Structure 1
Amino acid sequence: MTTRTATSVATFRKEIFLLVARALGDADARTPTGRYVALATRLARSDEAWLTRMVGWMGRHPGLRGLRLATLAELAQARLEAGATGTRQLLDQCLHRADEPGELLAYWLHWYGRALPQPVKRGIADAAVRLYDERALATYDSPGAPLRFADVLALTHPVPQGAAQADVFRHAVARRRGDLNDLPASLPLLRARRALYWIPASRRPALLERPHAGRTLAGAAMTWATVQRWLLGTMTGPAWAAVAPSMPYQDRLAHLADFDRDGMPDETAHQLAEDLASPAWVLRSGVTPLEVLAALRSVPGSRWSLSLGLAMDLSLANVPALPGRTLVLIDRGDLMAGPAYGGLTRADGAAILGAALAVRASRAQVVVLGTPATTVPVRPGEPLTDVIDRFGDVGGTTSPAQAIRDHAAGHDRVVVLTHPDQAAEAAEAVTGPGQEHVITDVTSGWFTAIPHIEMARTGDWPF
């Protein structure tokens, strides 16, 4: 590889990984753009091994699925053009969830047409055999999918492994035609779900009063969203009590107000509250202080408050510990009073994101932008609520750009949390060396995005 080619490859690596890293925090960046596809195509042809490793790493982050599948398709196309072997195995290994064979196939058909090369057809078929069972059929084969399970089967012709999977495949085709009645005994989960839907709507709430309602629903792969549709949109306390134990941690946080409004029994709520404050649950879920604060604000002064306070401190373990010297500028001006993430205002989101980064950082200076800009002391490891209480009320018109010019010297990075109207001017004000992060729409994904954006700029890959 010549020096010029190596330089180009290094530049392309940094650019594509920067797009991927930003997508961790910005949901609007998760759809493949023309530039992203062009970069993936170039690297697939010139640096396949590196791009393959990146695809594997992307599989750890569910929000990157769209970008990951687009990259995988471009890798497969480049391998076909080069006459390389192993494309079938690559596709099979990199498809992780039962909706992904259909999503990848839909992408391929859109960009490359209906003539499927054999390695692509076989790789997707292998993944379908590995991923398609009756639980997957109940969970992912929805009318809104880019391609239904039956479409994938028709286009790739996988060979089922055993009689039970053959029945899954046959029923997938029948579902596609609208025939939901012929269910063999080998599909007990789907039969259990059909039995639930045969119950008249007026009698369904009574079923949830039974002692083993949760087990019945779980046996039919009924998630809380499915149960809500089954109840024609009206959840009850017993309904939440039946489904809450199987809900992911973040879903529980998001629905605490619904639990209270609909009358979840205290016994169930007590167990859920213990789970919310469990260090193991908090660490395993990856929940962040932003999500916990949104939950706290949704149920102020409630039976959940003590557990959420503990969860807030525990969730700091899921925030990156940024090295070096970090300047955090938190805009609390008039523009930040509007609504944003999860019922929080823009000012709320900026406050919790900025405070959490500062408390975890090696060395941090926090400047709150109101009237006037004020430096707020932060001690590593202190409770987040203590830090936020020092920020004062929302209001004022301090310029983030001016604050950058006043305070950025001597820092290794600048994190600016501000309104979209202020973003361009703030970005232009960062002229010194280092890392700058101008964030306007706060999400929990930014905790992961910030260190990875810095990796993109330095070429220090996480894979």
Structure 2
Amino acid sequence: MLVAPHVSAAARTPSPPRLHHRPAGTDPSTYEGGAAFVREPREELFLLAVGNFVSQRTFYESGEERDARYARLVGELAVQEPVWTAGLLRWLRGEGNMRTASLVGAAAFVRARLEAGVSAGPSNRSVIDSVLHRADEPGELLAHWISAYGRNVPQPVKRGVADAVRRLYTSRSLLKYDTASKGFRFGDVLNLVHASPDPEKPWQGALFRYALDRRHHPEQALPPPSDRVLTAHRALMEPAADERRAMVTGPGGSELLAAAGMTWEALAGLLHGPMDASVWEAVIPAMAPMALLRNLRNFDEAGVSDEVAATIAARLADPREVARSRQFPFRYLAAHRHASQRWAAALEEALGHALANVPPLPGRTLILVDRSDSMFWGPVSERSTLTRADAAAVFGAALALRAEQADLVEFGWKSAALPFEPGEPVLEVLKRFHRLGGTHTTKAVRTHYQEHDRVLIVTDEQAAPSGPGGPAEPVPADIPVYTWNLAGYWPAHGPAGPRRYTFGGLTDAAFRMVGHLDAGREAGWPWTAGPV
């Protein structure tokens, strides 16, 4: 263990944020000057990947620094641990639900292996294919490659993209994603990778030709007559705007929009006018859960009827819809903060379903939630107004409410126990959290640990100086201490070892590991069956 010199409290001004570069070989310390511990590369990459929205600046690192560290780690492990790294990237796009990070990672994986001249492990082609789950992603990956590495796209990338194109390109995905706002249109992708149609999809050849025509000869492009969706879409586009509005809002309008593959975004431009209540009510049945969540305020402003609002609320609160939407739990908190009271009960219920993996931990549990300034600085992603402090409070409160007996503590420069009642809504408990300045993690553990059966710390790990042992030092060696890192910074606040575990990410997926480890069973990485 290497301990950095202590830094006085006066030197640690929380605003503006201070960005640090950590050259290889320097003594590790947290960004607040506390003792730090070097993670092994796989752990560092995993924690960075699950907490990293690409190019998102954090309190201690710029977006560029995080992106460079991420690409470096992926590249190194792609050569040294190709099977593990390919598994991470595949899992990251799937269960991890980190779309951009998986695409950027797959490109870095292939780039590093080509430069090193290695071929052991999964093929580069298969890794590219494995991270492409949505029809706009082949174009996004190619755009990233060209921006990061130049216009010479290697064959494994082209072939992996072509494999994904055959899986993902349909008439509905073309209407949704092949828009002028995309840097790479479907036709651009087809021109670059020369994807041949899937032999088991006889309609795909005509679709590919239409996508090319839409890109290069839009005035002459005609949908294949046999394609019902594209034909219905063209029929809806031909009338004047007033006639289209009457078609959409009249009897059978919802069925017409569904048959034509019309999204709410496209409909807003199609009608050349406001999205009033009648238009929204026509398209709402075809909207996905995330689209509903994003438009609650628009529904209110347009005056959507109570009857339709009830169907929206029922879908938002449906556990199957919540599972299908795969939204981060904090998305429901953000919607709750900005939506009217009309949606409050449904969003509260949806948040509960989104935290389905939170285990009912037996015995006594100490839960500490980091409320330091670095947790409040900046949103968790460019599409959110919520901070890591918000996410930490959501997870900490959910853990406390599900546990058999829990002490819930917020900490910063000082710490305090937060009261709660069994069965209380998570959103009510969140109102009791405060902003508490710095990060005296070990002091909080030492103050509040009283023969608990386990300790969970939800934090960014950037603890202030507190002695050589780290936050787990006051806890007996046979009591498990779980750190949940929400930021993925380089320095760790405590050493790894028996009964000391670190998780990461902005979903509740890590919680299911707590039960396994608590029972003394070894746990593997989420995409592997064996132990780490």
- Judge same fold: TM > 0.5, yes or no: yes
Residue 366 of structure 1 pairs with residue 404 of structure 2: no
CA 1:290/1:51 → structure 2, altered by over 3 Å: closer, same or farther?
closer
Aligned to 2:356: 317
Aligned to 2:458: 415
Q: Residue type matched to 2:118 in 1?
A: A
Aligned to 1:255: 295
Residue 194 of structure 1 pairs with residue 258 of structure 2: no
Which residue of 25, 28, 36 corresponds with 2:70?
A: 36
Aligned to 2:17: none
Distance in 1, Cα, partners of 2:358 & 2:444: 27
Q: Residue type matched to 1:14 in 2?
A: E
**Greater shift in the superposed pair: 290-299 or 14-23:** 290-299
CA 1:77/1:234 → structure 2, altered by over 3 Å: closer, same or farther?
same
Task: Give the drift of 1:185.
Answer: 0.7
Distance in 2, Cα, partners of 1:266 & 1:428: 56
- Give per-residue Cα distances to partners, 1:26-54, cap 9 Å, x unaligned: 95588872222222121111111111111
Residue 176 of structure 1 pairs with residue 215 of structure 2: yes
**Greater shift in the superposed pair: 97-106 or 17-26:** 17-26
**Greater shift in the superposed pair: 98-107 or 234-243:** 98-107
Contact kept in structure 2, 1:330 and 1:366, CA below 8 Å: no
For 1:169, what is the secondary structure of its paired residue?
Answer: helix
CA 1:270/1:449 → structure 2, altered by over 3 Å: closer, same or farther?
closer
Which residue of 407, 418, 438 corresponds with 1:376?
A: 418
Q: Residue type matched to 2:443 in 1?
A: R
Aligned to 2:178: 141
Task: Give the drift of 1:359.
Answer: 1.9
**Greater shift in the superposed pair: 335-344 or 361-370:** 335-344
Task: Give the drift of 1:262.
Answer: 0.9
**Greater shift in the superposed pair: 335-344 or 305-314:** 335-344
For 2:281, what is the secondary structure of its paired residue?
Answer: helix
Distance in 1, Cα, partners of 2:73 & 2:387: 37
Distance in 1, Cα, partners of 2:360 & 2:158: 44
- Give per-residue Cα distances to partners, 1:116-140, cap 9 Å, x unaligned: 4444333322322232222222122
CA 1:432/1:231 → structure 2, altered by over 3 Å: closer, same or farther?
same
Contact kept in structure 1, 2:369 and 2:393, CA below 8 Å: no
Of Structure 1 and Structure 2, the greater helix share is in 1
Task: Give the drift of 1:194.
Answer: 2.8
Over 6 Å off, 4+ runs: 29-32, 320-324, 335-350, 369-372, 452-455
Distance in 2, Cα, partners of 1:47 & 1:439: 25
Count of matched residue pairs: 438
Contact kept in structure 2, 1:250 and 1:291, CA below 8 Å: no
Which residue of 107, 128, 145 corresponds with 2:165?
A: 128
Task: Give percent identity, aligned residues only.
Answer: 36
Which residue of 525, 529, 532 corresponds with 1:461?
A: 525
Normalising by structure 1, we get a TM-score of: 0.76
- Give per-residue Cα distances to partners, 1:216-253, cap 9 Å, x unaligned: 11122211222222233621112221222222223323
Residue 446 of structure 1 pairs with residue 506 of structure 2: yes
Task: Give the drift of 1:165.
Answer: 2.0
Task: Give the drift of 1:173.
Answer: 1.9
Aligned-pair Cα RMSD in Å: 4.4
Distance in 2, Cα, partners of 1:306 & 1:452: 26
Aligned to 1:109: 146
CA 1:378/1:460 → structure 2, altered by over 3 Å: closer, same or farther?
farther
For 2:408, what is the secondary structure of its paired residue?
Answer: strand
Contact kept in structure 2, 1:339 and 1:346, CA below 8 Å: yes
Aligned to 1:222: 262
Contact kept in structure 2, 1:326 and 1:361, CA below 8 Å: no
Q: Residue type matched to 2:182 in 1?
A: A
Normalising by structure 2, we get a TM-score of: 0.68
Aligned 1:144-293 pairs, distance under 5 A? 144-161=181-198, 164-183=203-222, 184-232=224-272, 234-286=274-326, 290-293=330-333
CA 1:450/1:414 → structure 2, altered by over 3 Å: closer, same or farther?
same
- Give per-residue Cα distances to partners, 1:192-218, cap 9 Å, x unaligned: 223323332233332232121111111
- Give per-residue Cα distances to partners, 1:1-41, cap 9 Å, x unaligned: xxxxxxxxx82212211210222799558887222222212
Contact kept in structure 2, 1:23 and 1:449, CA below 8 Å: no
Distance in 2, Cα, partners of 1:248 & 1:217: 14
- Give per-residue Cα distances to partners, 1:410-429, cap 9 Å, x unaligned: 37343359xxxxx96x5556
For 2:99, what is the secondary structure of its paired residue?
Answer: helix
For 1:33, what is the secondary structure of its paired residue?
Answer: helix
Instruction: For structure 2, list consecutive stretches of 5 or more residues without a partner in the other structure.
Output: 1-38, 473-480, 488-504, 517-521, 528-532
